[in-house]
Amino acid sequence: MHITRRTFLTGAASLPMLAALPRPSLAEIRIGEATLTTVSDGHLVLPADFIFGPMPQDQLDPVLRDLGVDPAGPLKPECNLTLYRDGSNTVLFDAGSGPDFMPTAGKILDGLEAVGLTPEDITHVVFTHAHPDHIWGVLDDFDDPLFVNAIHMMGRAEWDYWWNPETVNTIGAARTTFAVGARRRMEAIEGSVAMFDDGQEILPGIAAVASHGHTPGHMSFEIRNGSEAAMVLGDAIGNHHVAFRKPGWHSGSDQDAEMAAETRRSLFDRLTAERMRLVGFHLPGGGIGRADHFDDGFIFLPGDA
């Protein structure tokens, strides 16, 4: 499998382009006195084998068809940016794709406008990881930092991985542009970066949870106020179909497929045991919902049920 940014863009350009989603503010819940909202950055257009390539094809089709997913693709996952507001901090989890990754994504300005905000209102940008659809949006059309008043926060292991000059040589040809693009954007925000480690409370009520595998230092975040909590997952659980139904299957989207599968199983155990709400970057309906057991896997229940 050889997927590059050029492949993505070529594939996306051959399909009818969608305008910004009609509901840029997609979903919202309360966590105590704070509000958790998802806003749209648009959607991606991906070849099916980018995710499904390593999976057992004879078992894959029934799972996908049961959920109304075309095994041949293309896949068009939503990009849900999570916005957390507690009256003091206005925190954006991930920055989206920006103007340079894919024409169907990079719509964060529309999403923020829909909830009455501008980039200048964001106090913190917290990264789950540094793939293009999560970090390229830190720069605007002129390659200047977009969130000029924000502290940018990233897990130390993730920062170190993408900052390492050897990453571009070891990540593999399919993701070379990912490494180059991440490093360029990290250089642009270096002066406003704070790093953190697993288990650290990075802001009041927000704790980092290691969820490595999709990338070497991928982080999720537990947001808690008293007995109310939600988990911002990023791409640790990256879709509503095979990631839920068959969490142990390896996905082509993960950089360490075995570790990512272990992470998914661990997260599902916790999410279901605690009945914790979740927010997934690429999950449908705005990405907010819960996980529940289904046969030998799980199912995504959108909304606040």
pLDDT for 19 equals 33
Torsion from C-alpha of 81, 87, 89, 95, nearest 10 degrees = 20
Helix (H/G/I), strand (E/B), else coil: 258: helix
pLDDT for 17 equals 30
Which residue from 185, 174, 15 is spatially nearest to 100, judged by alpha carbons? 185
- Each residue's pLDDT tens digit, 252-278: 999 999 999 999 999 999 999 999 999
Which residue from 105, 82, 86, 70 is spatially nearest to 27, judged by alpha carbons? 82
Which residue from 208, 225, 215 is spatially nearest to 259, judged by alpha carbons? 215
Cβ atoms of 249 and 56 within 8 Å: the answer is: yes
Does the domain at 5-302 match CATH 3.40.50.300? Answer given as no
- Each residue's pLDDT tens digit, 40-79: 999 999 999 999 999 999 999 999 999 999 999 999 999 9
Give pairs for 189-195: CB < 8 Å, separation 24+: 189/138, 189/145, 189/152, 192/145, 192/150, 192/151, 192/152, 193/151, 193/152, 193/153, 193/154, 193/159, 194/151, 194/152, 194/153, 195/153, 195/154, 195/155, 195/156, 195/159
Residue 105: DSSP 8-state? B
Cα–Cα distance measured from residue 108 to residue 34, given in angstroms and rounded to the nearest whole number: 21
Q: How far is CA 253 from CA 45, 48, 49, 51, 175, in A?
A: 13, 10, 9, 5, 10
Q: What is the pLDDT along the chain (305 residues), one digit of tens a residue?
A: 333 333 333 333 333 332 333 455 579 999 999 999 999 999 999 999 999 999 999 999 999 999 999 999 999 999 999 999 999 999 999 999 999 999 999 999 999 999 999 999 999 999 999 999 999 999 999 999 999 999 999 999 999 999 999 999 999 999 999 999 999 999 999 999 999 999 999 999 999 999 999 999 999 999 999 889 999 999 999 999 999 999 999 999 999 999 999 999 999 999 999 999 999 999 999 999 999 999 999 999 998 75
> What does pTM read for this prediction?
0.90
| Strand 219-225, strand 228-234: pairing | antiparallel
pLDDT for 172 equals 95
Q: What percent of the chain shows pLDDT beyond 70?
A: 91
Which residue type does 167 have? Answer: T
Q: Where are the beta strands (DSSP E) in 6-96?
A: 25-31, 34-43, 78-85, 90-93
Torsion from C-alpha of 50, 52, 55, 59, nearest 10 degrees = -170
